């Protein structure tokens, strides 16, 4: 008969399956999301369905996962569901709701992470994120120097430049929780995270990432440096240096330089000469009119882009073939009206709100930093593009929230 704790012991087998599930989610969502790209959503959702079955089989109590974030995610999904139900024309119209299904699987995920809670977990989570940023860097270098793509992530079926840059940037700044959790000299290795994210941004040529990097750098400095005047000085100095590099260095490329031209034109009241920015302004105008046309329940996610067609001029009709409106709040508003906007605001508030309700244990400061970065990064990156309304980043948002609130906490908290 096998000795307790050895191979063959049911308790040991249960623990090994539990550990495998937890590490699989961490590897897929945090470590390999830059490589998996769009498929991250489906891999994670499959793992979470298997996890839900395992939780039911082992009869784990779900009370540990019913925190404030669980209720806010559920309420957000219900708000989106109301909008979809009212605008429903055929059963296929409900399919886009599957893009938000990860929010419904938050509870078993939170239970899994809570069972692995330990005092040193913030550093472990940071290690996974640092590895994720490194994977993003390798993927971008492969596109640039092996495939010779002008923009890393372009012309592929599994990712695009904006998705690759945003994911690497998230992983890079998320890795900085290791600097907050580790007081030794090793904490400086986590500063490589944002730097690797910056290289990916340059290789993809995404101007949104450049702006977000500067904002997140300022927020990170204020949240991690105790002396706020020093934090302001450091962040402003780095921002000036970063701006000089983006303006002068060849590595920044033409798209970075046009960022300054766009800002100058907008400040002077001129129309932006850049095509991408011009298209965004057209989408915002048409999207605003589409929202006013159905402000309460919206048009439904299946008709997100077709709803703006009546408000586009003849030469602008091609823009309706784009996948989204290039603004998170506008996507939610046009798709589900004020119910969608309510869901969007609830989603943005979820990490910080749930963090403030969590115990003041030894990892509270790192949780607060991570949750703050989630809210700020998704808001900033979602202004000129899509984040919470995109399946990949919605999935990462749920997983990272569950990770911070339930894994990065002391076992007895």
Cα separation, 127 vs 110, in Å, equals 20
Q: Which of 120-134, 180-194, 291-305, 322-336 has the lowest mean pLDDT?
A: 180-194
Would you say residue 339 has pLDDT above 70?
Answer: yes
Label residue 126 by pLDDT band (50, 70, 90): very high
pTM for the model: 0.89
Would you say residue 281 has pLDDT above 50?
Answer: yes
Segment 375-390, tens digit of pLDDT = 999 999 999 999 999 9
Q: Which of 223-232, 244-253, 309-318 has the lowest mean pLDDT?
A: 244-253
Choose among 409, 405, 404, 401: nearest CA to 363: 409
For residue 186, give the 3-state DSSP assignment.
Answer: helix
Would you say residue 33 has pLDDT above 50?
Answer: yes
CB neighbour burial string for 145-161, b if at least 16 within 10 angstroms, e if fewer: eeeebebbbeebeebbb
For the chain, the straight-line distance linking the first and the last C-alpha, in angstroms and rounded, comes to 37
Cα separation, 126 vs 80, in Å, equals 32
Q: What share of the chain is helix, strand, coil (3-state, %, to 5)?
A: 75, 0, 25
356 vs 235, more confident: 356
Mean pLDDT of 194-217: 89
Label residue 3 by pLDDT band (50, 70, 90): very low
């Amino acid at each position: 008969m096998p000795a307790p704790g050895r191979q063959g012991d049911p308790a040991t087998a249960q623990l090994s399956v539990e550990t495998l599930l937890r590490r699989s989610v961490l590897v897929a969502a945090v470590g390999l999301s830059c490589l998996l790209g769009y498929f991250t959503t489906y891999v994670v959702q499959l793992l979470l369905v298997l996890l839900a079955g395992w939780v039911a089989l082992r009869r784990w109590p779900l009370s540990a996962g019913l925190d404030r974030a669980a209720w806010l995610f559920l309420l957000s999904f219900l708000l989106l569901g109301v909008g979809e139900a009212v605008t429903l024309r055929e059963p296929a119209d409900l399919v886009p709701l599957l893009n938000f299904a990860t929010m419904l699987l938050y509870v078993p995920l939170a239970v899994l992470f809570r069972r692995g809670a330990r005092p040193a977990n913030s550093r472990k989570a940071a290690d996974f994120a640092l590895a994720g940023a490194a994977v993003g860097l390798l993927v971008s270098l492969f596109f640039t120097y092996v495939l010779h793509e002008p923009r890393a992530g372009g012309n592929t079926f599994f990712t695009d430049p904006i998705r690759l840059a945003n994911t690497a940037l998230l992983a890079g700044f998320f890795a900085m929780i290791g600097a907050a959790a580790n007081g030794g000299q090793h904490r400086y290795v986590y500063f490589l995270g944002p730097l690797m994210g910056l290289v990916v941004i340059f290789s993809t040529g995404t101007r949104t990432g450049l702006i977000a990097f500067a904002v997140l750098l300022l927020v990170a400095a204020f949240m991690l440096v105790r002396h706020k005047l020093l934090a302001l000085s450091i962040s402003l100095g780095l921002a000036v240096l970063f701006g000089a590099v983006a303006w002068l260095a060849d590595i920044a490329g033409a798209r970075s330089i046009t960022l300054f031209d766009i800002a100058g034109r907008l400040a002077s009241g001129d129309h932006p000469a850049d095509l991408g920015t011009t298209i965004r302004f057209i989408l915002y105008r048409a999207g605003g009119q589409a929202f006013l046309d159905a402000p309460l329940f919206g048009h439904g996610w299946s008709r997100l882009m077709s709803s703006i067609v009546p408000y586009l001029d003849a030469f602008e009709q091609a823009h309706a073939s784009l996948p989204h409106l290039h603004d998170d709040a506008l996507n939610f508003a046009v798709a589900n009206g004020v119910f969608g906007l309510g869901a969007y605001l609830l989603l943005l508030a979820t990490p910080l709100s749930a963090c403030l309700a969590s115990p003041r244990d030894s990892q509270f400061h790192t949780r607060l930093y991570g949750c703050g970065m989630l809210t700020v990064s998704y808001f900033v990156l979602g202004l000129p593009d899509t984040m919470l309304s995109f399946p990949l980043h919605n999935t990462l948002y749920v997983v990272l929230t569950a990770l911070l609130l339930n894994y990065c906490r002391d076992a007895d908290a």
